[in-house]
Amino acid sequence: MTGGFERAVLPHLDAAYNLARWLTRDGRDAEDVVQEAMLRAVAHFDGFRGGDPKSWLLRIVRNCAYDWIAKRRSGTVVPLDAVMGPSGQVRGALDPVPAEAPDAGLERDADRVRLNRLVAALPPEFREVLVLREVEELSYRDIATATGVPIGTVMSRLARGRALLKRGWERAAKQEVRGGL
């Protein structure tokens, strides 16, 4: 690897893995996607013309993830129950519930699990912009670069994704209240 590649791209491996994990919904699959993305990035680094290397890398990761999904899961719909771990946590969630005393932070932990489930259930185009904005803290311009869509589309998808999360959150809260009565 060249020193330029190492300085520009390697610091963003965690972001690459996070995006791949949310898109593939599986840690091992995400590792495979990131490995393929890094091979492509090394092979095409001489074509990198500056700009933000993080958004450049995440675009490659995104393309690799969607290629991987198309090859391995074409036509397959995975129900949400199939991605749930034994503890009720979404497999592949980026923000795992920390181990704490049973009475400490139960509400916060339940909220985190609910949020992970809701994000995982979003359609991919909304999930990816939410992860890139809220987890990776990319600007709208960098998200547009990473996803290959106009900034207006990024903003629209982000707004729609947030609205879907809000409706899902409210629906889950209502169900919880009804179940607790």
- Supply the range of the domain harboring residue 165: 100-181
Q: What's the pLDDT score for residue 73?
A: 63
CATH code of the domain containing 160: 1.10.10.10
Weakest-pLDDT range from 22-31, 66-75, 119-128: 66-75
Amino acid 118 reads L
How much is the mean pLDDT over the chain? 81
Confirm whether 35 is domain-assigned.
yes
> Do the beta carbons of residue 33 and residue 65 sit within 8 Å?
yes
Considering only the C-alpha atoms of the chain, give the largest distance between any 2 of them, rounded to a whole number of Å.
62
127 lies in a domain?
A: yes
Total tally of structural domains belonging to the chain: 2
Domain CATH number, residue 28: 1.10.1740.10
Same domain, yes or no: 175 and 122: yes
- Write out pLDDT tens, residues 137-166: 999 999 999 999 999 999 999 999 999 999
Give domain status of residue 84, yes or no: no
Q: What is the pTM of this model?
A: 0.65
